[in-house]
């Protein structure tokens, strides 16, 4: 695929058929050496594994959880001879590197664990009982996103390889993540086969412009044989309200805007020869003006979380029931937004946010970048920015792109690295949304990128990693930092702040790791944020407890969740519910 060359999400309609290959697949652990025999013939002595899901936690066996290298998936399927058009095989996400074979023939190879890829299947390759094989490599290093360490310990881990000669031990090969979440791997999102006619719609882009009470809508399409396509705009009741063709502006009279907490979606029905696709979209504007973040021309205040795609048994696998639950809990708390920390989330989750009126900051998987990885990862980083925006450009819920999380932006090369990526993101996005990079440098005065972005986004842990247990010192430090950033006259958002709280641990007076300390921490930090008009939002870290690498600083994962991993509220959840219910989405800080 070329830069930003992406495909529409699979859809079944009057022109397209859709088959989902999710279910129980055969599975085998491999090694660091790729074995093509495991892709060209049925697996011997195989296990059963559910797809889509991580493979790590489905078995009561450390070999699966701690695996390093290749694994092999296989399933069989047959197709009725009903269609002579195109057949396309699509994977929504495989983490991190994979090779795909059909009946022993290699179809495609893909790197990057959080975005889709697909290819057309030749009809003469099919037979009755097709063997689909997927080899998946979970290894991470300084050339991958997210970044892994080489010859170093994992973040918060133990057992430096350098100890081998001193301790007289031999450490088995393993990943050393430079990020604080578990390196779940496998076929994480659905596998589809879909059909299109031979002349087909390859991509659709919808842009809107608010003109008084009306909206000007332009629908563009990439069409396999060129030309133009017919466009019909439908309202939320599927009533036709405008008709025309691609690349020709259409007017929606008295348009209903997509608003945070009050979603309204239109549909662009695109018809091209015998093909058809229905693309939902919203009418809304996003802009930065001075030190305000504007949605539909009004100053918006972000209330919500950093999150993870993380759940029991499924790991990082798509969990649509939990997505429903999570958005419901957000609304219960008065939250209006979250960031897709630290990778693009599933298209299903973004579509759900479109429907539910939840605001999203979409982030690339560029987490763990440091000065040693800049030169190695630049091309991959550019590709993933283009591909993420190409996939997600039509979602009204997305209001800002995040280029990276907590890179080393004190490095002298940081500005020269990120400035072109900032420009690239703006160039890729037909809606030209604001762009940021989320930073967390101890010496924020030396940061070279934060203030060059449209919005200053900072992660800060005074009262936890710095001045742990001393909220008075934490409050002083937070105030000093806000006073520093005030001079730039730009909007600033707290994209992470938090403290670990072990559910059920109570202390009076509050001490670290107690639920009381977590609540006191947030009260302290928010008392500072509320004093500054240029602070345009607060995202607590994290929505829920999540799994990490084993280490002395992590007791069964990261416990900074406002909810437990199984979504039970801690004290801080009730505090935030009271706070956020009293803070309006708009005009909080005029």
Annotated catalytic sites, by residue?
Answer: 406, 496
Report yes or no: 528 and 482 within 8 Å, Cβ to Cβ: yes
HSE, side-chain direction, 13 A CA sphere, residue 69:
11
Residue 523 dihedral angles phi and psi, to the nearest 5°: -60, -40
Which strands, in side-by-side order, build the sheet including 292-295? 286-289, 292-295, 298-299
Looking at residue 455, what DSSP letter applies? S
The rounded distance, in Å, linking the Cα atoms of 164 and 151 is 11
The H or E element containing residue 64 is: helix 62-65
Which tokens go with 258?
């997509």
CA–CA separation, 268 and 278 (whole Å): 6
DSSP string for 379-444: HHHHHHHHHHHHHHTT-TTEEEEEEEES---SSTTHHHHHHHHHHHHHHH-TT---EEEEE--SSG
Q: What are phi and psi of 24, to 5 degrees?
A: -85, 120
Backbone phi and psi for residue 199, each to the nearest 5 degrees, phi listed first: -100, 120
**Cβ pair 132, 87 in contact under 8 A:** no
Sheet holding 47-51, edge to edge: 47-51, 23-29, 70-77, 130-137, 97-102, 105-111
Task: Give the whole-angstrom CA distance, residue 70 versus residue 49.
Answer: 15
- DSSP one-letter code for 308: -
Separation of alpha carbons 120 and 108, rounded Å: 10
């Amino acid at each position: 695929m070329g830069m930003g060359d992406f495909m529409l999400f699979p859809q079944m309609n009057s022109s397209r058929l859709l088959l989902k290959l999710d279910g129980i697949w055969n599975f085998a652990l491999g090694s660091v050496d790729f074995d093509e025999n495991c892709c060209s013939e049925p697996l011997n002595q195989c296990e059963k594994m559910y797809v889509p899901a991580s493979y790590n936690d489905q078995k009561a066996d450390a070999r699966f959880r701690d695996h390093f290298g290749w694994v092999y998936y296989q399933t069989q399927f047959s197709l009725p001879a009903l269609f002579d058009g195109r057949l396309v095989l699509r994977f929504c996400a495989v983490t991190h590197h994979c090779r795909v074979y059909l009946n022993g023939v290699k179809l495609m190879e893909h790197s990057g664990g959080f975005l889709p890829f697909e290819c057309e299947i030749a009809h003469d390759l099919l037979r009755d009982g097709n063997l689909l094989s997927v080899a998946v490599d979970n290894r991470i290093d300084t050339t991958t996103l997210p970044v892994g360490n080489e010859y170093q310990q994992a973040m918060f881990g133990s057992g430096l390889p350098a100890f081998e000669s001193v301790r007289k031990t031999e450490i088995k090969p393993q990943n050393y993540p430079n990020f604080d979440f578990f390196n779940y791997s496998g076929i994480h999102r659905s596998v589809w086969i879909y059909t299109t006619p031979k002349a087909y719609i390859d991509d659709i882009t919808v842009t809107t412009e608010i003109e008084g009470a009306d909206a000007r809508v332009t629908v563009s399409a990439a069409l396999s044989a060129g030309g133009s396509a017919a466009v019909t705009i439908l309202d939320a009741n599927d009533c036709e309200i405008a008709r025309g063709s691609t690349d020709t502006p259409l007017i929606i009279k008295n348009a209903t805007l997509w608003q945070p907490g009050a979603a309204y979606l239109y549909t662009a029905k695109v018809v091209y020869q015998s093909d058809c696709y229905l693309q939902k979209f919203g009418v809304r504007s996003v802009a930065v003006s001075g030190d305000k973040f504007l949605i539909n021309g009004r100053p918006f205040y972000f209330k919500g979380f950093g999150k993870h795609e993380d759940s029991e048994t499924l790991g990082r696998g798509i969990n649509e029931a939990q997505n429903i639950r999570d958005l419901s809990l957000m609304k219960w708390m008065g939250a209006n937004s979250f960031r897709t920390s630290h990778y693009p989330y599933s298209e299903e989750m973004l579509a759900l946010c479109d429907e539910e009126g939840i605001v999203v900051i979409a982030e690339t998987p560029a987490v763990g970048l440091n000065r040693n990885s800049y030169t190695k990862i630049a091309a991959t980083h550019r590709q993933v920015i283009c591909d993420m925006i190409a996939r997600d450009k039509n979602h009204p819920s997305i209001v800002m792109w995040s280029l990276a999380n907590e890179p080393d932006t004190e490095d002298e090369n940081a500005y020269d690295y990120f400035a072109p990526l900032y420009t690239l993101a703006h160039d890729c996005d037909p809606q030209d949304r604001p762009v940021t990079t989320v930073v967390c440098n101890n010496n924020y005065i030396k940061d070279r990128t934060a203030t060059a972005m449209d919005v200053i986004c900072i992660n800060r842990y005074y009262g936890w990693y710095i001045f742990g247990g001393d909220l008075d010192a934490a409050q002083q430090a937070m105030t000093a930092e806000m006073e520093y950033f005030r001079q730039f006259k730009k909007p600033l958002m707290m994209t992470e702040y938090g403290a670990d709280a072990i559910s059920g641990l109570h202390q009076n007076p509050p001490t670290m790791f107690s639920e009381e300390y977590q609540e006191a921490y947030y009260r302290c930090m928010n008392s500072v944020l509320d004093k500054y008009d240029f602070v345009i939002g607060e995202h607590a870290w994290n929505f829920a407890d999540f799994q990490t690498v084993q280490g002395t600083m992590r007791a069964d994962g990261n416990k900074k969740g406002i909810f437990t991993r199984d979504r039970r509220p801690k004290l801080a959840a009730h505090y935030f519910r009271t706070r956020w219910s009293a803070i309006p989405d708009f005009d909080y800080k005029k």
